[in-house]
Structure 1
Amino acid sequence: MIAQLIAIGVFSAAAPPTSGVVNVPDERTALVARVQASATIAAGIPLGAVEWEQPYDPADHARYAFSWATLLEPEEQVAEILAIRVSSAAAALGIMVDQSVGHSPLIDSVEGRKVQLWFVVAEAMQEAATFLGAGVKIPITMKILTTLGQRFERTNVLTVRQL
């Protein structure tokens, strides 16, 4: 699985996320679904996947967050990010999770219940016709390990369109 993730440039186990303060506006924070159905809707998006309220413009560089608060016990926190995946269609459109210095995924050091990540679209793809009008909905899947030893994997939906 990790080899596939590295191949499409989404998340590298060689550069593990750090922890820090997550300060993401509510409209760019998506709670993960408590129960996610096994069936899928268009583009491989599971039924019940939560969509970020704020669409992402392909030329933007802004932080977004997964909030795991609905799944975790009161004393439980995110201990490790095991994987972050975007679909192969997203990778073909140049949509990636930024891993550059200062922008790699991080676990909230205050409450430990959110993971912040930055999206980036390859410069050559930022004006692609796919992003016009309603744009495209991209499934972003994250798998975590908690301080109580539980593992969770959930998919949230990022709408990428020209704003």
Structure 2
Amino acid sequence: MAIRPLLRYPDPALSLACLPVEHFDEALRTLCADLLQTMRAAPGVGITAAHIGVLLRIVVLELDPKLGPRTFVNPEIGWFSEETEKHTEGSVCMPGATEEIVRPTAIRFTYRDLDGIRHEEEMRGFPAICMQHEIDQLDGIFWVQRLSRLKRERLVKKWLKTAT
């Protein structure tokens, strides 16, 4: 296991869509273990392979250290609730920058585990918000794109000043 370097916003790779994982092997397990260590070191509660420049559809979440990490390979959202909620979001690729985003409160999605077995799951509240945030990243949508233009420009300008 290794801590990998994180891309930093506005790296153009953060705007690229990720490809599905096709091989469920030891290399995938190693990559996912590295993602977990990288996320913990950042620190964060979620990370994608895209955050380290690997354009594969992998999400690792650790929302509660007592429950441990979960890995989702090739996640796809099939349903969003009509009900929404506002939550403060940020990114391991843009440390220190946060803003409120409105997202659906619940989702239903499919994914594969590290053995390639397909699962379907529903999430509500904070876990659903996190999963939507990470799946956006897999689709090449960096979280600041969910902000109004004015909020995004202010946040990016402020972050770029402090990041250099």
**How would you bin the TM-score normalised by the shorter chain?**
under 0.3
* Bigger relative contact order (CA 8 A; separation at least 6): 1
Q: Which has the higher strand share?
A: 1
- With normalisation by structure 2, the TM-score equals 0.25
Calculate the TM-score normalised by the size of structure 1.
0.25
